[in-house]
Amino acid sequence: MDIAIVGAGMAGTTLALALSQRTNYKVALIEAFEPKAQSHPGFDARAIALAQGSVQSLSKLNLWSTLAPMAKAIEHIQVSDRGHMGQVWMHADEHLVDALGQVIELERAGPALFAKLADTEVQLFCPDTLARCEQQQESVHLTLNSGAELSAKLVVGADGGRSPLLASMPFEPQRHDYGQTAIISNLETSKPGTTAFERFTDQGPIALLPMTEDRYSLVWVCDRNKADVVMAMDDAAFIEALQQEFGYRCGQILRAGKRHHYPLFRTHLSRPFHHRVVFVGNAAQSLHPIAGQGFNLGLRDAVTLAECLASAQGADPGLFTLLDDYWQQRQPDVNTTLGLTHGLVKLFSNNNPFLQLGRNMGLLAMDLAPTLGQGLIRQTMGQHHQRSATW
C-alpha cells in the first residue's frame, strides 16, 4: 500500500477521491462508521458552509455536481453588531459570481461522496478502526481492530478533532480555551431567503445560514454559563431568547429543531507531520466557528496534499521533502486563517466600549468604502490562497 487515510469524513473522502483520479498510488481508506445514504435527513440535519473557493476546488475534482442538488446558495452576507449601527453587506453579483458560498447538509453530502468510492480502486476498511500505528524506517505499519494489518509509505490522519491517530503520535497540539459554547440548531422563519447572517454580540457571534427547504442553520456562540441556561430552555423560551438577541432580519422564528452544543477551543499543530504521517482538516487544526472558516481550511489541506502527491508521481509519498513542501504551501494559509478567526473572536466577543467603537467604525467604513473590506471578503470566499492547479 502506498497511502493509508484514517478517517472518511469530507476531508478524508475528498482526498481519497482526488488521489484516485490524479495519481497511480494505491490508496486505502479506514473509517469507523459506514455512511448511510438518505434521500433527506430531516429538519435537524447539520449544515456547513462551503466558501466559493471550496466549490471551485470540488468542481475541478468533478465532485461538485454530486453535491450541488443538495446545496443552498448564499447570495448575500450581512455582518452586524448587536446594539450598534455598524454593518457590512456583501453581494454575489458585486463580485461577479453566482454565489458567495453554498450551504450543504453533512448527512447527505458525506454519504454521496462516500458512494463515489465504489467507482475507484480505493481499498476500504469500513467499518474498522485503528488499534496500533508503528512508524518504521520505510513505512508505517497499521493494525486495525478487525485484525487486519497493512503497511503504507504514508499515513494521512483525517480523523477529526479527537483524532485517535494523533493521540498515538509524539505531538503536543497548541490549545486555547475560548470559554465559549456553540449551540447548534435549525430554524424555520417567516422570511426565508438566500442571505447568510453573522451578528456579533458581547458574548459571541450568532450565525444563520440559509438551507434548502426554507430553513436556516443556527450557530449561537455564548459563554458557557449562559449556554447551560439556553440549553435548559424549552423551545418557546429558546425561540424568544434567540429572537431578542438576533432581531427580525429573517422575520419571526417559527420553529427550532433539536439543539446540540459543544465547547470551543482553538487547537493546532506547529508542524502537522512526523515521519511518514501527516494530518489534515480538524485533526491538524480546529478553529472557532466565527466567519465559518474551519471546514474550508481543512478542505484546502486535502486538495493541496493531493496536488503535492500528484506532482510527485512515482516518488515515495512519505518522503520528508514531499511533506515539508506540502507544509510550506499550507503554512501561510493556516496561520492567516488561525490569526483571522482568533482576532475576530477577541475583537467582537466582548463589551469593551473602546473596542465596540472601533469595530463599528470599521464596519461602517467597510460598508461605505467596500474596497477596505476586500481582504476579508476574499478570505470569506476562500479565494486568498487558491492555487492555479493544472489539474
pLDDT average per 10 residues of sequence, the chain (391 residues): 95 96 96 76 82 92 94 92 72 89 91 93 96 96 97 96 90 93 96 92 89 94 96 98 94 96 95 97 92 90 97 93 97 92 74 48 46 52 51 52
Specify whether the CB–CB gap between 114 and 13 falls below 8 A.
Answer: yes
- Kindly tell me the sign of the dihedral angle through the C-alpha atoms of 26, 32, 36, 37: negative
In this predicted structure, what is the pLDDT of residue 163? 92
In this predicted structure, what is the pLDDT of residue 84? 58
In this predicted structure, what is the pLDDT of residue 214? 93
The answer to pTM > 0.85 is yes
Edge-to-edge order in the sheet of strand 130-135: 130-135, 140-144, 149-152
CA 131/CA 377 separation, integer angstroms: 43
Domain spans in the chain, listed from the N-terminal domain onward: 3-174+265-380
DSSP string, 164-206: HHHHTSS---EEEEEEEEEEEEEEEESS--SEEEEEE-SS-EE
CA 360/CA 250 separation, integer angstroms: 22
Q: What is the pLDDT of residues 87-112, one digit of tens each?
A: 788 899 988 889 999 999 988 898 99
Cβ neighbours of 89 (radius 10 Å): 14
In this predicted structure, what is the pLDDT of residue 351? 56
In this predicted structure, what is the pLDDT of residue 7? 95
Which CATH topology does 3-174+265-380 take?
FAD/NAD(P)-binding domain (3.50.50)
